[in-house]
Amino acid sequence: MKIKAFCSDIDGTLLNSVRDLSPRLKAVVADLPVDFPVILASSRMPDAMRHLLHDMNRFPQPLISYNGGYVLSADGEVLEDVSISVELVAKILQLTHKTDIHVSLYQGENWYEEKDDYWSQREVRNTKVACTWLPGQDVLDLWSKDNSGAHKVMCMGTNEEIAWLFGELHFEHSLDLHLYRSSDTYLEIAPKAISKATGLKKILENAYDFGMESVVAFGDNYNDIDLLQSVGWGVAVENARMEVKAVANEITHHNKEDGVAASLEKIRNSKFEISTEI
């Protein structure tokens, strides 16, 4: 199997213990051919991904943002644009109104925050992106005028409240929404129709002469399962969920121990040929 591109999740996979790109990873990426696609796939917004491509000296590249809800080509063309309706976003806000759950709203290149608190400041630090301060109802009014919606709704709070919200939304909207608990205190909500795998397929069909079978992909969490199953070679980091490891072709080192870099070094040293008999 000839590997012609790599696609990777970011948090818990590509980044190290200080949420940065390690020197080892940057070095192996620098060794890749200049026309070798480096495709990031994340629940993050585009600007929270672009600075990583700049750090790897690989900008511009295609981007799979919001778990596949908003997919961009290398030149910025929108290849996929699937959002949660304003009505559903309004229901989420209504459900959380009398709780301590913090709600962040995302659409395209925009990130809206109502509360300046621990959760919003944590996201600013982690993603290195500035948000727009705007009350939730004002965001809904804006989206109603534009006939748009949310590419992602992120809810943060205690384990108990997040578990309750997950249950409420799953009971009524499991056919409409992807409900993804990235941690005990985080619930990320996206449209049901998309995934990182559908986003990667859009990118390859748009600009490349090879298919999913020629891609190596890396991941750690539930929203990476479809991606690892859909490509030619799926790699789970050691810290991945057991369900992710179960579908992977290979398990590499922990993200804090340069797992992605280690696998890329093997692929580079084998001249991008992977034996499916391994």
pLDDT digits (tens, 9 = 90+) for 121-142: 999 998 889 999 999 999 999 9
What mean pLDDT do residues 176-187 have? 90
Instruction: Identify whether the C-beta of residue 180 lies closer than 8 Å to the C-beta of residue 222.
Output: yes
The pTM assigned to this predicted structure is: 0.93
pLDDT, averaged across the chain: 94
**Residues 209-227 pLDDT 10s:** 999 999 999 999 999 999 9
CATH fold of 5-81+194-269, please? Answer: Rossmann fold (3.40.50)
In the chain, where does the domain assigned CATH 3.30.1240.10 lie? 86-191
In the chain, where does the domain assigned CATH 3.40.50.1000 lie? 5-81+194-269
pLDDT at 256: 96
**Residues 67-107 pLDDT 10s:** 999 999 999 999 999 999 999 999 999 999 989 999 999 99
* CATH tag, 86-191: 3.30.1240.10
High-pLDDT (> 90) share of the chain, %: 91
| Residue 179 one-letter amino acid | L
pLDDT at 215: 97
What mean pLDDT do residues 175-198 have? 92
| Residue 277 confidence class, pLDDT cut points 50, 70, 90 | low
- Number of Cβ atoms within 10 Å of the Cβ of 55: 14
